[in-house]
Structure 1
Amino acid sequence: MSSQHFLIRRANVLGENVVDLRVEGATITETGTDLPERDAEVIEAEGLIALPGLVDVHTHLREPGREDAETVETGTRAAAAGGYTAVCAMANSQPVADTAGLVEQVWELGRAAGWADVHPIGAVTVGLQGERLAEIGAMADSRAQVRMFSDDGKCVHNALLMRRALEYVKTFDGVVAQHAQEPALTEDAQMNEGSVSADLGLAGWPAVAEEAIIARDVLLAQHVGSRVHICHVSTKGSVEIIRWAKERGIDVTAEVTPHHLVLTDELVRTYDPVYKVNPPLRTREDVEALRAAVGDGTIDVIGTDHAPHPLEAKECEWSTAAMGMTGLETALSIIQMTLVETGTIGWSDVARIMSTVPARIARIDDQGRPLAQGEPANIVLVDPEARRTVDPQTHASKGRNSPYKAMDVPGQVRATFLKGHPTVLNGCLATPRNAGAEN
């Protein structure tokens, strides 16, 4: 791939400073005001917010095995469109990514696609069955250098296995990302347990099923002296437990999805399966607690839990529909709408929760870096004044199961740079980073 030279003119970095950014090759080589063009391709960025490329710690790319729902190619195209330059791919593919060979396959598919860096998440247990540990050490030593492990979609509910996993990852500074769901309390559950589930006669999914696992696992992490990450926190009680753990110095981090910051279980009254998700949509009280927890730092990052499904898995009866929503192409807009425009956080905080800290949790050294001289040119330019109506039919993802269909949302990604290469320009997908290169 030939070296490229761009001058991003008058970008508002983190919403704080208007500067020019010179990008040569894969690096930001100069910052300042009124920089000379020097044969660069000029990108006028006045009025645009510049953030470090977004990093998602929770993406389902489905490949291998479920290419009818998504592929690494289509999923990372969606990521680029949403401003992401790196995604962490969950292990619940078919076959499960529970060996060094499987995680290397996903890693290579990401390299070949070239739309965003792909960092596989390895399974904690073989086949996500919760019976014996997977090849954690081999996956960590593979070319993919896996540092996050999760049985997401299922909970590591066996306390001894969870303890052993925490002990194992501690040896190489890894982290276990727990899907907090006590299975005995959620058997046949269809939605959040509460007044709406009672009205509809649907089996309820109690908040305590999430909270009990989080309480256990933060104590296990404290006992072992290891890192634990809590996936898709969804309840007020979970926030309180995580806050308690952090106050005591326990090494716990947590994520919340965009949809749990805006949607509630009242939407289930429509019986539209697009709103069926794991963990389920909760109450307005939970939504407000989650927003406040992002604002005060109790919740560390936004994880999209991008979960595409083929049409037949969602356009069916509620009881048989698959759980999950797409999110990569709408996450930044939802965060602007729910957190920035409400005054809960600023754009520098958006960089922190959607780029810097996610990269730190996943131990991705070349992502989430400051937009400064000598740093990797992973950049997203966002137009905060733009408005758009969400149309899943236009999304780069194969999944059409967006809960925001027809919603008017703020913000539009105008450009995404992956290591200095524009994957999005003028709001449209451009070319992958490997375009024209030998693979």
Structure 2
Amino acid sequence: MSKILIRGAKVLGGEPQDVLIDGEVIEAVGTGLSAEGAEVVEAAGKVLLPGLVDLHTHLREPGREDSETVLTGTRAAASGGYTAVFAMANTFPVADTAGVVEQVYRLGQEHGYCDVQPIGAVTVGLEGRKLAELGAMHESAAGVTVFSDDGKCVDDAVIMRRALEYVKAFGGVVAQHAQEPRLTEGAQMNEGIVSAELGLGGWPAVAEESIIARDVLLAEHVGSRVHICHLSTAGSVEIVRWAKSRGIDVTAEVTPHHLLLTDELVRTYNPVYKVNPPLRTERDVLALREALADGTIDIVATDHAPHPHEDKDCEWAAAAMGMVGLETALSVVQETMVDTGLLDWAGVADRMSVKPAQIGQATGHGRPVSAGEPANLTLVDTEYRGQVDPAGFASRSRNTPYEGRELPGRVTHTWLRGKATLVDGKLT
């Protein structure tokens, strides 16, 4: 593999530096670097980050290849600046055995656009009644360390306790989809003024908050790790903040769409805004931004949820929940966190690369941009502004809430262990 010289990039948004890649690793970082025969990438004015890591991606394969495949999903990831993604278990069949997680893992290896780490189901068939083969999935070639029934809540406290006890033995983590099912029967959107005016079934904040409160107490009791998926309410923020103040081993994520969009958009009845958990209020959005800035919320995770056209282009009540997010996540974070002054680019690297890699134990990812480290890198034109056009997405699905919306920033290059997966905004 030839050498690559990235010239004049603002590493983590700092002073311009040159970065020399030799094979799979960074050889040097400094000013005035040169290398005979190296491919030169002129990066003046652009920001260089460690490759992004998404702890919450739905790749749909096996079983729903009409929505997404490992190939199309990882191409979308590379387009968005990601070098590693964690694939959720709600596939068909469910990723609740060593065989299924190994299949997903090997598909990721074959396609090569980013590393794919499968997430194993907590319970058999996501049914919440019996623990899945947690140990076998961990010991498999996939080496699963994160387990989640995402899409469904592990609502049985005994099952949740057992899962936390089991993963503690090998340093794993249970990622909880916090949704008390009895409180959300028939729910269609956030419970509040808008739901009352529209006559749509309300999804109360307490349905999320009550599960988080229970689970942080269980994690404290067991002495295990719990991760909260797609936290969405101001009340949830306060519970996590309290838990961390007690030393409970809890981490939490927020999605880009919960940092930007509110339930007011549901007034359009456009199913593109139907998502789980639902879009919340402006008060919640502001609380989530503050919590991400101060570290109460640890990471940004996309909850990339692709659906075919027919599952979203229908009446609201019948529409599937979810939004694609891999290709727009960094732009939304720039809009809501960087351009507002809440985070600098080093903070973005921490929330979108370093910490998700640590939580998921993604070896070689989320590392410093320095000599000797794996060359997993993302180059961003932060001065760019443009309208989102889903027709140009690499994802197989187009269910984005940002179509036609102007957002800042564009990923121009992505390197996975020194190999370019995206060059000048185009997949290799």
Fold similarity call, TM over 0.5: yes
Secondary structure class of the residue paired with 2:109: helix
Q: Does 1:367 align with 2:365?
A: yes
The answer to whether the 8 Å contact 1:180/1:230 transfers is yes
Shift of 1:17: 2.8
Equivalent-residue separation in structure 2 for 1:199 and 1:4 (angstroms):
61
Aligned residue number for residue 296 of structure 1: 294
Shift of 1:388: 1.4
Aligned residue number for residue 285 of structure 1: 283
Deviations 1:140-175 (A, max 9, x none): 000000000000000000000000000010000000
Q: Does 1:214 align with 2:226?
A: no
Aligned residue number for residue 326 of structure 1: 324
Deviations 1:326-360 (A, max 9, x none): 00000000000000000001000000000000000
Secondary structure class of the residue paired with 1:15: coil
1:45 corresponds, among 38, 43, 46, to: 43
Equivalent-residue separation in structure 1 for 2:154 and 2:225 (angstroms):
15
Equivalent-residue separation in structure 1 for 2:362 and 2:337 (angstroms):
26
Secondary structure class of the residue paired with 1:334: helix
Q: Could you state the TM-score of these two structures normalised by the residue count of structure 2?
A: 1.00
Among all aligned residue pairs of Structure 1 and Structure 2, give the percentage whose two residues are the same amino acid.
67
1:236 corresponds, among 225, 228, 234, to: 234
Structure 2 unaligned regions, length at least 5: none
Deviations 1:353-381 (A, max 9, x none): 00000000001121000010000000000
2:337 corresponds, among 332, 336, 339, to: 339
Secondary structure class of the residue paired with 2:380: strand
1:16 corresponds, among 1, 5, 14, to: 14
Where do residues 5-404 of structure 1 align in structure 2 (5 Å cutoff)? 5-404=3-402
The structure 1 segments of at least 4 consecutive aligned residues displaced by more than 3 Å after TM superposition are none
Equivalent-residue separation in structure 2 for 1:240 and 1:226 (angstroms):
20
Equivalent-residue separation in structure 2 for 1:137 and 1:17 (angstroms):
46
Where do residues 411-422 of structure 1 align in structure 2 (5 Å cutoff)? 411-422=409-420
The answer to whether the 8 Å contact 2:390/2:398 transfers is yes
Secondary structure class of the residue paired with 1:155: coil
Equivalent-residue separation in structure 1 for 2:379 and 2:267 (angstroms):
38
**CA-atom RMSD in angstroms:** 0.5
Q: Partner letter of residue 326 of structure 2? A: L
Equivalent-residue separation in structure 2 for 1:234 and 1:133 (angstroms):
27
Equivalent-residue separation in structure 2 for 1:303 and 1:177 (angstroms):
12
Equivalent-residue separation in structure 2 for 1:401 and 1:392 (angstroms):
8
Equivalent-residue separation in structure 2 for 1:416 and 1:331 (angstroms):
15
Q: Could you state the TM-score of these two structures normalised by the residue count of structure 1?
A: 0.97
The answer to whether the 8 Å contact 1:4/1:420 transfers is no
Secondary structure class of the residue paired with 1:211: helix
Structure 1 unaligned regions, length at least 5: 431-439
Equivalent-residue separation in structure 2 for 1:420 and 1:368 (angstroms):
15
2:424 corresponds, among 412, 423, 426, to: 426
Deviations 1:196-241 (A, max 9, x none): 0000111100000000000000000000000000000000000000
Deviates more, 1:9-18 or 1:294-303: 9-18
